[in-house]
């Protein structure tokens, strides 16, 4: 039997080739696989390869428009069950974060790392000539001076010795090499930090609304609902950062900053409701706690850039 006749026989078979269930249409009602087994043309092949990424059916553009200009609408649509016409929040968050880091890497490649991190390398002051000493405590402490010279204080434990070895290698680098090391580490491990911070933001958002579920029955209550809001808001921030990097014009960046302030307030109103003073109070709590988490994540990112090499 030739391949052609075999494929024709498969087309005539009313059973799904994936799960074996009996089918009566173009797609299996059990597993969702298409029942057509003919090989795709070159155009169909490329469409299939890129369709999920750039959504040729218009979902991507519809989603980006709603994300950029209709604060909170994507979250409300998803929580209401209207999900077919928009890209799912997790996929949107992942794709936009990857695009953001790709744009950052491109900007670094064209302009260098000097504009991102600047170290004070003056050698005329006494402080620059003397090494920074970390305060002595019962545990391990880390010190850093203006020239990015790292020191480890505390008892000579196994961890302290290993840290000093890593820090000594980093201290021997030139300021330019230190900058390149930190930037490279930020690009390499930054996505992990972002994915860790997203659920933290959702937890803070949920905590800020504990105890007020009865007053607003339509307000998000479950953690997953807060996570959807967090994913959409972070994706919007990524989109703004991409625009600010691609269009390095100060008036545009000022306009983007003002739009972010308006957008966040409007999105919270549309999703959570409530009086403005309550939204503002909760937003200040979330912003403060999340700011601490972001600073901690950046510190961990820089430490990983030094240690994991």
Q: What is the pLDDT of residues 241-293, one digit of tens each?
A: 999 999 989 999 999 999 999 999 999 999 999 899 999 999 999 999 999 99
Work out the pLDDT band at 120, boundaries 50, 70, 90. Answer: very low
The full set of domain ranges for the chain reads 3-54, 59-116+177-307
User: CB pairs under 8 A, 24+ apart, for 82-85?
Assistant: 85/59
Helix runs in 209-249, H state only: 223-246
Q: CA 98, CA 95: separation in Å to the nearest integer?
A: 5
Query: 46 or 1: whose pLDDT is higher?
Result: 46
pLDDT value for 37: 65
Neighbouring-strand partners of residue 184: none
Task: Inform me whether the pLDDT recorded for 225 exceeds 90.
Answer: yes
74/228 Cα distance (integer angstroms): 9
| Per-chain mean pLDDT for the chain | 80
Binned at pLDDT 50, 70 and 90, residue 212 comes out as low
What pLDDT shows up at residue 119? 45
What pLDDT does 9 receive? Answer: 52
Check residue 140 and give its pLDDT: 73
Output the pLDDT for position 202. Answer: 96
* DSSP secondary structure letter of residue 145: -
Burial class (CB in 10 A: 0-12, 13-18, 19+), 206: buried
pLDDT at res. 170? 85
> Confidence band (pLDDT; 50, 70, 90) for 235?
very high
Compute and round to an integer the Cα radius of gyration of the chain: 26
Q: Which carries the bigger pLDDT value, residue 60 or residue 236?
A: 236
Residue with tokens 């109070």: 281
Residues 292 and 299: their CA atoms lie apart, in Å, by: 11
């Amino acid at each position: 039997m030739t391949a052609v006749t075999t494929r024709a026989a498969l087309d005539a078979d009313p059973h799904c080739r994936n799960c074996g269930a009996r089918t009566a249409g173009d797609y299996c009602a059990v597993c969702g696989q298409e029942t057509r087994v003919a090989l795709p043309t070159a155009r169909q092949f490329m469409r299939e390869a890129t369709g999920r990424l750039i959504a040729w059916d218009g979902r991507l553009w519809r989603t980006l428009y709603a994300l950029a200009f209709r604060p909170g609408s994507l979250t409300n649509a998803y929580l209401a069950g209207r999900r077919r016409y928009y890209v799912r929040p997790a996929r949107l968050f992942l794709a936009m974060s990857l695009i953001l880091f790709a744009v950052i890497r491109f900007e670094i490649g064209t302009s260098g790392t000097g504009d991102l991190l600047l170290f004070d390398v003056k050698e005329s002051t006494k402080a620059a000539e003397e090494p920074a000493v970390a305060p002595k405590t019962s545990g391990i402490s880390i010190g850093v001076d203006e020239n990015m010279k790292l020191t480890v204080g505390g008892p000579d434990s196994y961890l302290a010795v290993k840290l000093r070895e890593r820090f000594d290698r980093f201290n021997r680098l030139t300021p330019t090499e230190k900058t390149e090391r930190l930037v490279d580490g930020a690009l390499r491990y930054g996505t992990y930090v972002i994915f860790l911070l997203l659920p933290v933001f959702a937890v803070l958002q949920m905590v800020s609304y504990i105890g007020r579920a009865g007053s607003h029955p339509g307000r998000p209550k479950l953690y997953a609902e807060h996570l959807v809001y967090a994913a959409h808001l972070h994706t919007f921030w990524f989109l703004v950062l991409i625009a600010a990097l691609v269009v390095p014009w100060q008036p545009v960046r000022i306009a983007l900053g003002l739009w972010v302030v308006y957008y966040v307030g409007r999105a919270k109103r549309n999703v959570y409701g409530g009086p403005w003073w309550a939204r503002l109070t909760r937003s200040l709590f979330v912003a403060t706690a999340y700011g601490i988490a972001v600073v901690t994540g950046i510190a961990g990112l820089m430490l990983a850039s030094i240690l994991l090499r």
